[in-house]
Amino acid sequence: TDALTLANQILDNWDADGKMALAAASTTFATVANTGSYTIGPAMTINVARPMRINGATAELDAGSHWPMKVVQGVAEWNSVPFRNDITFTPRILFYSRGNPTGVIYVAPIPRGCCSISLWYWAAFTKFVDVTTSITLLPAYEKALRLQLAHDLAPEYDVAFSKEAGEALAMALAILQELNSELLTPSPGMIRAMADAPPVGVPAP
């Protein structure tokens, strides 16, 4: 029981750490006319597991073109957007409020119902439901989880975690962190230059 609880706690921590991210996941949702916020989570408007972080977003226009969106990660930056309540054709800014158990996606300017938005985020780990049901992990994750679990359980049983085991754990984590380094790159905070794109900070027509 201790191992089950602790294993899921380790996976929870890995969910929040891009260096340990399982994969990059994406989903697409349709905007609604004159609507600037959308719930995200199981059975919500955007029906996916609640993401820990939104790393990138693209507005997919009806004409088939794609408009990169700036993803802001802080409330202060979102509040500083001067056109949050404007209603225009193309949303250009996205902010994710990580509520629990439901998150909320905010977009600005508020779309007229023009498009869909694709989101990129870190995929969540499947958790253990009991001590007998297996879960599937990608290569290299099982060793890291076993060693991390042994490290975290050792003090509860007054068992020393050897230097060799510590070195093996550090190596296992380093391999995964190097593998996942590309997943750490967030939305660049810039709008790709387009022939008809207004300057950053000015709402699109």
Digit-coded pLDDT (tens) for 100-121:
788 999 999 999 877 899 999 9
Q: Are 166 and 151 in contact (CB under 8 A)?
A: yes
Is omega for the bond preceding 198 within 30 degrees of 0, making it cis?
Answer: no
Tell me the pTM.
Answer: 0.75
Indicate the pLDDT class of residue 67, thresholds 50, 70 and 90.
Answer: confident
User: What pLDDT sits at residue 182?
Assistant: 66
Segment 70-86 mean pLDDT: 91
Indicate the pLDDT class of residue 183, thresholds 50, 70 and 90.
Answer: low
User: What pLDDT sits at residue 117?
Assistant: 94
Indicate the pLDDT class of residue 180, thresholds 50, 70 and 90.
Answer: confident
User: What pLDDT sits at residue 192?
Assistant: 36
Characterize 2-24 residue by residue with b for buried, 16 or more Cβ atoms within 10 angstroms of its Cβ, and e for exposed: eeeeebeebbeebbeebebbbeb
152/156 Cα distance (integer angstroms)? 8
Segment 74-102 mean pLDDT: 89
189/118 Cα distance (integer angstroms)? 16
The model's pLDDT over 141-168, given as tens digits with 9 standing for 90+, comes to 999 999 999 999 999 999 999 999 999 9
